[in-house]
Structure 1
Amino acid sequence: MFSATFEYLFRLVAPELERRHNRGRPTISARKQLLIALWYMGTPNSYRSVCKTFDVGHVTAVRAVRCVCHALHSLTPHFITWPRGDKVDTTVADFRRKSPFPGVIGAIDGCHIVINAPKSSDGAYINRKGTHYPVPACV
């Protein structure tokens, strides 16, 4: 992640992270919470490794990841919206030009779902890697 991207993300989530209190005990900074969460989500490391890397306890690391996820979730209405009114027709037409899949008004993520392609429209079910049976990106 570029440092400018981190700073942008930090400005978005910091207000939510800074207003959380830990029953009167000092909390770790919003910046450290975000670093812990991004490290945990971006690596295959265990919480044990994250705790050692950031010199925090297990509960602190888990709480940081949860708080950051909550802060990110609270921002979703600003970034993920359903089209409304005339925008629905425009969006459906735009997706239709890109793919023969009908009635699409939005797409999130890039997960592949393993399917058996119908023999009649085999070409409509090939992913960007040219296969019908991709390894799933998520479960």
Structure 2
Amino acid sequence: MARRLVWLHIAREIYLRERRFLRLERRMIRDHSNPFEVREEDFTRYFRVSKEIAIYLCQQLHPELSRRRRSGLRTHTQVLVALRFLAEGSYQRGVGQDFLMAVSQPTVSRCVTKVTSSICDRLHQWINFPQTDNEMAAVQERFRANAGFPGIVGLIDCTHISIVTPAIHAEGYRNRKGYFSLNTQMVRNSD
């Protein structure tokens, strides 16, 4: 009986060591890929932003996205996974399985949630509308100088972003073309 317990203990130790080794090897593989090494044109086509903007986002979001555990994803990986999902507009599994990311669907979901929440927390830093008369006059002057349109403070556009059929109030999301979407609106300045 004692001999059997010793063998069970040894077998368990071997099993745990093998699992630790496999986990360590997987982390090393993930850390070896660097999406920033691809050409600028490919990077922009793949993520729909330039490397400069992606690096800026990584720097700005680092405090919220930094690793909590040694095995956690690096900030740049989380940001790029979320950007790829937003650029792709497709399923999370496909984003995680592509050649630069290699993460699971739940990881993609967590990255998208964390990155978009962090961006939303900082929106006031990046998005603002002219508040004073002097600011409005300056924006109007730039529109007049750039495009020849006097008295303009912003351009507006709307689009529909396709979504999966919602479980609740689905018909409220059906657009005039018959598919489910979110109606988004954007205002742009003259720069």
Q: Which has the higher contact order (CA 8 A, sep 6+)?
A: 1
Shift in Å, 1:87: 3.2
Structure 2 residue aligned with 1:120: none
Shift in Å, 1:107: 4.6
Shift in Å, 1:31: 1.0
Structure 1 residue aligned with 2:64: 16
Q: Which structure has the highest strand share of the two?
A: 2
Matched residue type, 1:17: L
What value does the CA root-mean-square deviation take over the aligned residues?
3.2
**Percent of aligned positions that are identical:** 25
Q: 1:56 to 1:107 in 2, by over 3 A?
A: same
Q: TM-score, normalized by length of structure 1?
A: 0.59
Structure 1 residue aligned with 2:39: none
Contact 2:96 2:103 in 1 (8 A): yes
Give the Cα–Cα distance (whole angstroms) in 2 for the partners of residues 4 and 78 of structure 1. 18
Structure 1 residue aligned with 2:117: 70
Contact 1:36 1:50 in 2 (8 A): yes
Q: 1:82 to 1:56 in 2, by over 3 A?
A: same
Matched residue type, 2:116: C
Shift in Å, 1:93: 5.0
Give the Cα–Cα distance (whole angstroms) in 2 for the partners of residues 41 and 66 of structure 1. 11
> What runs of 5+ residues in structure 1 fail to find an aligned partner?
114-137
Give the Cα–Cα distance (whole angstroms) in 1 for the partners of residues 105 and 140 of structure 2. 49
Superposition map of 1:1-139 within 5 A: 1=44, 2-18=50-66, 21=68, 26-53=71-98, 54-87=101-134, 89-90=136-137, 93-94=140-141, 98=149, 105-107=153-155, 110-111=157-158, 139=183
Equivalenced residue count is 108
Matched residue type, 2:134: K
Shift in Å, 1:59: 1.6
Contact 1:83 1:91 in 2 (8 A): no
Q: Which of 1 and 2 has greater Rg?
A: 2
Q: 1:106 to 1:31 in 2, by over 3 A?
A: same
Deviating 4+ runs (over 6 angstroms): none
> What runs of 5+ residues in structure 2 fail to find an aligned partner?
1-43, 45-49, 161-181, 184-191
